[in-house]
Amino acid sequence: MINRERVLQEFLELVQIRCSTRQEREVGDLLTKRLEELGGTVHEDQAGVKLGGNCGNLVADFPGTIDAPTVMLTAHMDCVEPCGDVHPQIENGIIRSDGTTVLGSDDKAGVTAILETLRQLKEQDIPHGPLQVVFTIAEENGVHGSQNLDSSLLHADFGFTLDTHGHPGVMSYKAPGKNQIHIAIKGKAAHAGVEPEKGINAIQAAGILLSDAPQGRIDEETTCNVGRIQGGSATNVVADTCDVFYESRSRDKAKLDAITQRIVDHFEQGAEKTGCQIHAEVSPDYGPYEIPQDSPAIEVAKRAAEKLGFPVELEESGGGSDANHFNTYGVPTVVLAVGMTNCHTKEEYIEEKDLYDAAEWALEIVKQAADCKRG
């Protein structure tokens, strides 16, 4: 059994530490200290330097007490805004903020579960194989922390990212890849009151092309979205520039490539119709992944959930996470639910029960992995 009072107090402590994306130093230093106290050798990579932040990803190695597969447990340190001056409230087994900020269960619930797992292994002298714990930065702005992680530090056989909604027992084994698409439209400036007919309005061109551009759900595993538009300089100038920012997602790589190219072609082929110069640039964020349902990672997580009496549910995710990159790096990684609800809003909350169950699940996963044979 985990120490519920300790889990609760640690969670409440962590959510009250401001941890904006690329500003994770305070919580990173605290977690480094705790990981080292629990027997880990902690490496901090240079991802923070690359991203203009003040802290890198933390990768901690813990030696095993038996010969068993190396398990990786991961969570991210940063939170969406507003995450400063958080005042957690507990009522009827529900933990919320006071309504002026997010709570931060995304992803301090995952961090807390991992720390409690390490403590229980040590205090109860539980046999286990080698462990890697990874606490990432800059997850919330596009999983850029794990994208820039020093992957040479990873050597786990399989892993678990504790970072999604739903009650413990739910896990994501398949997730989409995502591309960012920047469409730059260049028209011609002119005085809007004196000679507007001499101009070519790039904002108007964007509107014309957006009216029949791909948007929303394409099929059950493919989506795209226009998320931001900016352009022009003043109301008395015919806008000569407009930038359109898109994203495309799919759990199928071929479909991801196809919808991305369709968007690029739609806008670039619209240059002649609108009289503008149009250029589209694609920046991949992360690739899709699918873990076989009979893989060791899923089997271990299922056995652990079943032993604890948690209903097991395998889901296909519509969003990305650090697991996308860990899978790309060659560590089969499943995303586990930790109970976070209404994430990225001031209405975010987590049930105390889910907070405790997430820690129980992580601990039981390590125990179940200890029964597996290497290779």
CB 349 within 8 A of CB 165: no
pLDDT of residue 1: 84
Rounded to the nearest 5 percent, the helix, strand and coil shares of the chain are 35, 30, 35
pLDDT of residue 142: 87
Q: Please give the single-letter amino acid code of residue 161.
A: T
d(CA 75, CA 133) in angstroms, rounded, equals 8
Considering the chain, what percentage of its residues have pLDDT values greater than 70?
99
Q: Where in the chain is the domain with CATH 3.30.70.360?
A: 177-286
HSE-up of 281 (CA within 13 Å, CB side)?
5
pLDDT of residue 40: 98
pLDDT of residue 150: 97
The sheet carrying 94-96 orders its strands as: 89-91, 94-96, 349-351
pLDDT of residue 113: 98
pLDDT of residue 375: 54
* Section 13-31 average pLDDT: 98
d(CA 43, CA 148) in angstroms, rounded, equals 14
Is-catalytic flag, 139? Answer: yes
pLDDT of residue 374: 61
Q: Which of 178, 277, 181 is nearest to 229 (CA)?
A: 181
Contacts of 30 (CB under 8 A, 6+ apart): 17
- Residue 352 DSSP one-character state: H
Instruction: Output 371 or 24, whichever has higher pLDDT.
Output: 24
Q: Provide the terminal-to-terminal Cα distance of the chain, rounded to the nearest Å.
A: 30
Which tokens sit at 62? Answer: 């813990």
Contacts of 336 (CB under 8 A, 6+ apart): 110, 160, 161, 162, 163, 164, 168, 170, 171, 301, 358, 361, 362
| 226 φ, ψ (degrees, to nearest 5) | -85, 115
Among 139, 247, 322, 348, the active-site one is 139
Among 10, 24, 44, 78, the active-site one is 78
Instruction: Return the biggest CA–CA distance within the chain.
Output: 82
CB 79 within 8 A of CB 140: yes
* Section 114-120 average pLDDT: 98
CB 89 within 8 A of CB 97: yes
DSSP string, 99-147: SSS---HHHHHHHHHHHHHHHHHHHTT-----EEEEEESS-TTTSHHHH
Helices (H), the chain: 4-15, 25-37, 47-51, 105-123, 144-147, 202-210, 253-268, 271-274, 296-308, 322-328, 352-369
Tell me which CATH code domain 177-286 carries.
Answer: 3.30.70.360
| pLDDT above 90 (res 278) | yes
Q: Where in the chain is the domain with CATH 3.40.630.10?
A: 4-175+288-369
* Section 216-236 average pLDDT: 96
- Taking phi first (over 0 means left), then psi (-120 to 50 degrees means alpha), and beta for anything else, what does residue 173 get? alpha
Least confident stretch, 108-112, 156-160, 371-375: 371-375
Tell me which CATH code domain 4-175+288-369 carries.
Answer: 3.40.630.10
Model confidence pLDDT, tens digit, residues 310-352: 999 999 998 889 999 999 999 999 999 999 999 999 999 999 9
Mean pLDDT of the chain: 96
Is-catalytic flag, 348? Answer: no
| pLDDT above 60 (res 125) | yes
Is the preceding omega at residue 219 within 30 degrees of 0, hence cis? Answer: no
Which tokens sit at 3? Answer: 């120490």
d(CA 181, CA 284) in angstroms, rounded, equals 9
Contacts of 352 (CB under 8 A, 6+ apart): 8, 90, 93, 94, 95
Model confidence pLDDT, tens digit, residues 54-109: 999 999 999 999 999 999 999 999 999 999 999 999 999 999 999 999 999 999 99
CB 334 within 8 A of CB 313: no
d(CA 134, CA 301) in angstroms, rounded, equals 18
* Section 247-257 average pLDDT: 96
pLDDT of residue 372: 81
| 29 φ, ψ (degrees, to nearest 5) | -65, -40
Which tokens sit at 252? Answer: 């199928």
